[in-house]
Structures are given as structure tokens and as C-alpha cells.
Amino acid sequence: MYYYNINKRNEIVVNKEDIKYSKASLINEFEKFINVCGFKLIDNGDVKTSPYEVNITKNKIIYKIIMYYKNITGAGWYNKLNIRRVQVTNVRKTDINKYISTSNNSFFAIFGYYNFDNNPIMVAWNAYNFVYHETTRSCYVSIELLIEGYKKGFIKTNYSKQQIWIFTPNNFEIFLNDYINCNKVNN
């Protein structure tokens, strides 16, 4: 199978292999990603099971994130090479205690990590939309939207009937604030 990827010039290139990181490498990539805009990873919990909890900090504010954090990979369709995805299970079936409400300093999200040609970008999906299904679900993004995310640094859009956030390392804080504001439970 072939995969569409994006090089540093924002051009689509075709490869025979998908880029994938191990769980341990993914958390290291997450830490490097958030460090760019001044956040520090202070606790990454048990990364062997998903979703997992991480705690990050900036300016003495600590954020608790329950996250699925996966590689963005090809969707497996020979006729739609521009579609990429992450797959997740229902958190209510795996660990009900990890299903938390969004507040000013904590949230639950699905993150996809993509890094071809040493050019990292993340996509986030609203995890609350993926907790009522019985089977594994896929969260989708197109190569074209990833390119737009590279060009603009941060975009919030809809794709495959889901709101998604696409952002580069310099824009992690913009994403964080927007995601919390969009999903915060008002007390």
C-alpha cells in the first residue's frame, strides 16, 4: 500500500511506509511539541494503556489532560490515500474513571500526531463525541487539511461531521485555550 505524506515544503509525496511511533516515543514527541511554546510535562502516568493522564504546566498553572494520543496513519483505503485517521476505543468501557468533564484546568481529548520530514503537527478531536459507541471508532483528517494547518499554524474546522483542531507546536496554547472554552462545563 502507498501513503500520502507531506514534506517540509507542504508538498504531497507518496511513500510505501506509514510513519509510526511507539507509545513511549509518542509521549517524548508530545513533550517536545509542548515545550516549543513554554509548557512542561510534569507527569505522564502510565503510557501503556490508553487513554492516559498527563499533567503539564506553564506559568505555575497545572493542566490535567486525559488523552488518547495516537499516530495519525493512513485510513486503509486504496482509493482515498488523502484520508488519515486515528482509532480509539470507548473510554467508558476501558476506564470510566478517565471520563472527566472539561474545566479551566482539565480536559479529555483525542490527539493525533503526525511528523513526516521532521515537521510535527497535531490534530485534536472532541473525545466526548466518541464515548457512546460499542466498537473501535476512527477519527479522520485529510492531507489537505494538514497542509492548511501547516500553513496557518492553527485551524479549527469540521471534517467528517466532527469539529477538529489542527495546530503546530507554536500554537499548542491557542489550541488548549480554544478546546477548553469550547468544551467547558459551566458550573
C-beta of residue 73 within 8 angstroms of C-beta of residue 139: no
Statement: residue 115 has pLDDT above 60? yes
Split at pLDDT 50, 70, 90, the class of 153 is very high
Domain boundaries, the chain: 3-183
Q: Which of 36-40, 52-56, 182-186 has the highest mean pLDDT?
A: 36-40
- Mean pLDDT estimate for the chain: 89
Statement: residue 105 has pLDDT above 50? yes
pLDDT at 187: 47
Lowest model confidence (mean pLDDT) among 88-97, 127-136, 147-156: 88-97
DSSP E strands in the chain: the ranges are 3-6, 12-15, 40-43, 52-58, 61-71, 73-74, 83-88, 106-115, 120-126, 137-142, 154-159, 162-167
